Structure 1
Amino acid sequence: MTSSREPGSRLALDLALTIRHDGRGGVADDLDSPAGLTRWVRERPALLARVPAPGLWTADGADLAAVRSLRAAARALFARAVRPGEPSPADAARLIPVEAALGRLNEAAAAVPAAPRLDWPRDGEPVVRDHPAGGSAADALPAALARAVIGFLTGPDRAALRACHAPRCVRYFVKEHPRQEWCKPSCGNRARVARHHERHRTP
Structure 2
Amino acid sequence: MTERPVMELASTIRHDGDGGVLDDLDTVRGARRWLQRRPGILATATATATATATGDLVLDEELREAVVDVRRAVRALFARVVSPAPPSPADAHRLLPVDEAMRLLNAAAAREPVAPQLHWPAEGPPTAGLLSAEGDPGVRLVAALARDAVDFLSGPQREHLRACHAPRCVRYFIRSHGRQEWCKPSCGNRARVARHYERTRAADPS
**Kept after mapping to 2: 8 A contact 1:38/1:58:** no
Match of 1:175 in 2: 175
In the TM superposition, 1:24-173 aligns within 5 A as: 24-52=18-46, 56-119=56-119, 125-134=125-134, 136-173=136-173
In 2, distance between residues paired with 1:121 and 1:47? 25
What's the TM-score, normalizing by structure 1? 0.88
Match of 2:51 in 1: none
SS of structure 2 residue aligned to 1:177: coil
Match of 1:19 in 2: 13
In 1, distance between residues paired with 2:194 and 2:35? 36
Instruction: List per-residue Cα deviations over 1:84-140 (Å, max 9, x = no partner).
Output: 211001011110100000010011111111111334578764321223223754422
- 1:197 equivalenced with 2:197 (yes/no): yes
**Larger-Rg structure:** 2
Aligned residue identity for 1:47: I
SS of structure 2 residue aligned to 1:46: helix
Deviation at 1:83, TM superposition (A): 1.3
Gaps of 5+ in 1: none
Aligned residue identity for 2:186: S
Change (3 A) 1:48 1:120: farther
Change (3 A) 1:51 1:168: same
In 2, distance between residues paired with 1:124 and 1:34? 42
Deviation at 1:149, TM superposition (A): 0.4
Deviation at 1:32, TM superposition (A): 1.4
Change (3 A) 1:119 1:33: farther
Instruction: List per-residue Cα deviations over 1:135-179 (Å, max 9, x = no partner).
Output: 754422111110010011011110000000000000000010111
Aligned residue identity for 1:31: L
Instruction: Count matched residues.
Output: 197
Stretch of structure 1 that moved more, 16-25 or 128-137? 128-137
Give the superposed CA RMSD. Answer: 2.2
SS of structure 2 residue aligned to 1:57: coil
In 1, distance between residues paired with 2:164 and 2:33? 26
Change (3 A) 1:45 1:120: farther
Aligned residue identity for 2:95: L
Stretch of structure 1 that moved more, 27-36 or 126-135? 126-135
